Amino acid sequence: MNTEYKVIVVGGGHAGVEAAWAAANGLGTPNSVALISLDASKIGVMSCNPAIGGLAKGQLVCEIDAMGGVMGLIADATGIQFKVLNTSKGSAVHGPRCQSDRHAYASVAQELIRSRDEIDVIEGTVEELMINNAGARVSGVRLSTGLDRSEIEISASCVVVTTGTFMRALMHMGDVQTEGGRFGEQSATGISKSLNDLGFELGRLKTGTPPRLDITTIQWDELPVESGDDQPIPFSQLTPSGWSLGDVECDQFPRIDQVTCRQSSTCEISHEIIRKNLDRAPMFTGQIESQGPRYCPSIEDKVVRFAQRDSHGVFLEPESHDSDWVYCNGIATSLPADVQDEIIKHMPGCANAKIVQYGYAVEYDMIRPHQIYTTGETRKVRGLFFAGQINGTSGYEEAAAQGLIAGLNAARRALQGDAYKGFSFGREQAYIGVLMDDLVTKTPREPYRMFTSRAEHRLILRADNAPDRLTPIAKDLGLLDTSELGAQRYKLFEARKMILEQGRALLDELRDGDKTIAQRLLNPDFTIEMLRVALEPHLGDQPLSIWRTLHSDKRYEPYIERQLGQIKRNIDLEHRPLPEWIEYDGIGSLRTEARLALSKYKPTTFGQASRLEGITPSDITLLSVLVKRARADRRSLEAN
């Protein structure tokens, strides 16, 4: 086994896969990245909902793809139902989503990882992070591996920790508690202790999962049908033209036979059963003390919080063509097994349904993310990065986005050494930038979930224009230069750019009666299909993403220009740096609340400082004066 790498990634979930892939893209040398997983067969596993994307999450997936990541490719290759959510509203809030074949998803993820010469997969449990230079720099990990749990040390200048829900993880179902971060898998305890010993502030969060049913025991054909879109839209710009890597080929879309889901619901009888058993529900007995996701609550939480409701919708989603399991979307629970049986049998179509895996909750350790930069690197230890649910987020997509950023920056630090300059997105550039900025300026007390409402510039951060915004950045960062997929991606981007330029010119040139097509587009009734019919004779057959971008850019042009102007006006404040050497505790002229917030979060820019809780516009004005004065004093001292 190789024991020296440039980058080590700990954990093989969605954050770990993207971190390893981004690091491989950034390094481009064989055997430079170690991906350490408790079980290599679980890399890329969909622990909970077998779906990718959704509201705001779909935008994240498209951005990951535009930056050379793989989540969009895997979702496209394994999707069994595709649907764009929120289409009744404007394009800024459209959310592409797909339900994936969960077994195929993990298989494709593992095949893609194996296809990279840069990545070595190592099975083992990380027991300790190795630190040198008086605790200032990470140097590798100590892990136990093999049947005899022998310990070895692996060195690297950068380590990315993506442990998901596995740090000191504890599963709950009724009064039964089992160590583990996922059903049938162990907990990771050593790394949690190691981080605590290094002085990191840890927190504790909860997540949950619903029961799975045997589809052959459901009255499937009697339930209302939930279908996907007639014209599926892929996440990746590579998918329409087909792609292949290693043993994975995606030469058509959709690649896998599509499925329909069914709709069911809870009922008043089920709610009464839940109310009578709250004394057996871990989150109400005090057995679970940590906070769960507000926007994806358990069914027992829903029944208590929304007492006026006599039912809650449940989507029955087939998990795979290779199993009979059905995911019950909407009834995550940690109630005892016998109570879950009663809840299910009172759902329409489920009188005889058999539960093949009961729902449960997981409590796990996380790191308070004000301890990281927007690059994912920790403030305490150079070369140590955190990504995914360890930072207090919820969801595959948020985890993958952080993995991409952390893997990219780990590769840059490994290559640049002390000359390293971190890369991060601004809030005006990407949803990924919004995500990272929110994490470092707002300590999550519940799992953080991305929403379009969190992005103040969402009109220009659409899913359809992610390649236009981010692929040139990926090219400049070197993420597209070390793999065949990267080269293909940039070639498609250049072709897309040319077609969009031609299309925009045609919008102003072509006339429909007494108006140009551009003028017709301002009419809300002028659809994307009408635009396609008007331009296709001149541009030829193009992917739907081209028509969507042309349609949205022209329709919302005045609003987009206004938003770009606002960004330009705010750019100085947003990116003006704050020196790390400032000791806010000693600035008596700042309000106490402002000093406490600045000392805790240590913002790197005035923009970040302005978003901290407890900071007012007058605080920012005063801070600007004080920083200018402090810089002048520092220069004077250095000169003497």
Percent of the chain residues past pLDDT 70, beyond the cut? 100
Please report which residue ranges of 115-247 form alpha helices under DSSP H: 190-197
- Residue 311's pLDDT is 95
Tokens of 265: 């619901």
- Residue 335's pLDDT is 96
**Between 508 and 242, residue with greater pLDDT:** 508
Sequence-distant (≥ 6) Cβ neighbours of residue 481 within 8 angstroms: 28, 475, 487
Distance separating alpha carbons of residues 26 and 19, to the nearest angstrom: 10
- Residue 97's pLDDT is 97
- Residue 147's pLDDT is 75
- If we measure between CA atoms, which residue out of 376, 490, 439, 432 comes closest to residue 7? 376
Helix (H, G, I), strand (E, B) or coil at 158: strand
- Residue 559's pLDDT is 92
- Residue 587's pLDDT is 85
Given its phi and psi angles, is residue 262 left (phi above 0), alpha (psi -120 to 50 degrees) or beta? beta
Q: Mean of the pLDDT values across residues 422-427? A: 95
List, for residues 446-489, the tens digit of each pLDDT value: 899 999 999 999 999 999 999 999 999 999 999 998 888 899 99
DSSP 383: T
Q: Which band of pLDDT confidence, cut at 50, 70 and 90, is reported for residue 386?
A: very high
**Between 250 and 64, residue with greater pLDDT:** 64
**Between 378 and 291, residue with greater pLDDT:** 378
Q: Mean of the pLDDT values across residues 530-554? A: 94
Distance separating alpha carbons of residues 287 and 297, to the nearest angstrom: 17
Tokens of 471: 């692929």
- Residue 399's pLDDT is 97
Q: Which residue has the tokens 């069994």?
A: 80
Tokens of 463: 């899913």
Sequence-distant (≥ 6) Cβ neighbours of residue 38 within 8 angstroms: 123, 124, 125, 166, 185, 186, 188
List, for residues 558-597, the tens digit of each pLDDT value: 999 999 998 988 888 888 999 988 889 888 888 999 999 9
Sequence-distant (≥ 6) Cβ neighbours of residue 174 within 8 angstroms: 280, 281, 282, 334, 335, 336, 337, 339
The total of other beta-carbon atoms located within 10 Å of residue 355's CB is: 20
- Residue 482's pLDDT is 87
Q: What does R_g of the chain's alpha carbons equal in angstroms? A: 25
- Residue 188's pLDDT is 81
Residue 262 pairs in a beta bridge with: 225, 316
Cβ(332)–Cβ(206) under 8 Å? Answer: no
Q: Which band of pLDDT confidence, cut at 50, 70 and 90, is reported for residue 100?
A: very high
Q: Mean of the pLDDT values across residues 103-119? A: 96
Residue 10 has pLDDT above 90, yes or no: yes
- Residue 226's pLDDT is 95
**Between 80 and 575, residue with greater pLDDT:** 80
Residue 500 has pLDDT above 90, yes or no: yes
- Residue 39's pLDDT is 93
Tokens of 370: 């004000």
Q: Which band of pLDDT confidence, cut at 50, 70 and 90, is reported for residue 163?
A: very high
Distance separating alpha carbons of residues 34 and 49, to the nearest angstrom: 28
Q: Mean of the pLDDT values across residues 590-605? A: 91
Cβ(609)–Cβ(596) under 8 Å? Answer: no
Q: Which band of pLDDT confidence, cut at 50, 70 and 90, is reported for residue 245?
A: confident
E strand segments, 427-501: none
Strands 95-100 and 79-85: antiparallel
| Average pLDDT value over all residues in the chain | 93
Q: Phi and psi dihedrals of 144, rounded to 5?
A: -105, 140
- Residue 446's pLDDT is 86
Residue 533 has pLDDT above 80, yes or no: yes
Q: Using CA atoms in the order 136, 137, 139, 141, what is the torsion angle rounded to 10 degrees?
A: 70
Please report which residue ranges of 80-126 form alpha helices under DSSP H: 102-114
Tokens of 374: 């927007």
Burial 69-91 (b: 16+ CB within 10 A, else e): bbbbbbbbbbbbbbbbbbeeeeb
Tokens of 514: 């007494």
**Between 133 and 53, residue with greater pLDDT:** 53
Distance separating alpha carbons of residues 459 and 455, to the nearest angstrom: 9
